[in-house]
Amino acid sequence: MRSSRSDKKIKSQRELSDNVISRMREPSSPVPKAQPSPPPTQPKPPVNESVSPSYAVNEDELRRKIAEELALEQARREVENKKRLEQGRFLVHDEIGKALERERTASTEQLTRAVLREKAATEEERIKAKSFAKKLEEKERELKKHDEYYKDQLARLEERSAQFYKVTTEEYQKAATGVEAKFKRYEAHPICADLQAKILQCYQQNPQQSLSCSALASQYLQCVSNAKQTLLGRGG
């Protein structure tokens, strides 16, 4: 690469030298013709016809002028090269600046979009969480209402069971007392003894759940009533 540049430089200097020599050897501007004068009395000196004064070139002067032309041309080219280099450097710097600005703008836009997306996602999550919390509160209120309703129903059921147990017990005791007083004189097996034993056992096993014994109590009362009718029919 360095050898190629050196060859180009030598070739350029050689072409420049040839151009300078060609300009130096060109005839100068035509000299205006002199006014005619009378022929001289003195004989003309012999003229060297082999060399023309218009084309005579001093070799040292030619070399000096060639050197000056080369120096000027070299300086001019160096100035132009420097100018082109500065222009190229300016263009490169400008392009780099523009590229950096575009990159900075793109990065800023991407960051802005990312921040906006994050804010939107955060806002959406906040709205969802708020809606979920509201639904949860409504569900808790609904469950609380159901719980209060079931507690009220259970209390009423327990109250009714207690009343039924009380009534059933009173009726049982009353019926048992009446039957016992009426048939006290007879030596016989108790009426509906098996149901009576089952009812007593049921009440003992389920003191707070009298409903479980209601069926037995009804059967017992029916059995006692039937026995009573039977005895009355016999005239007892």
CB 64 within 8 A of CB 24: no
pLDDT at 35 over 50: no
The predicted structure's pLDDT at residue 51: 46
The predicted structure's pLDDT at residue 72: 92
CB 214 within 8 A of CB 164: yes
Average of pLDDT values for 120-149? 87
pTM: 0.28
Would you state the structure tokens that stand for residue 80, as one six-digit string?
Answer: 């132009």
Q: How far apart are the first and last CA of the chain?
A: 150
Residue with more model confidence, 158 or 187:
158
pLDDT at 50 over 70: no
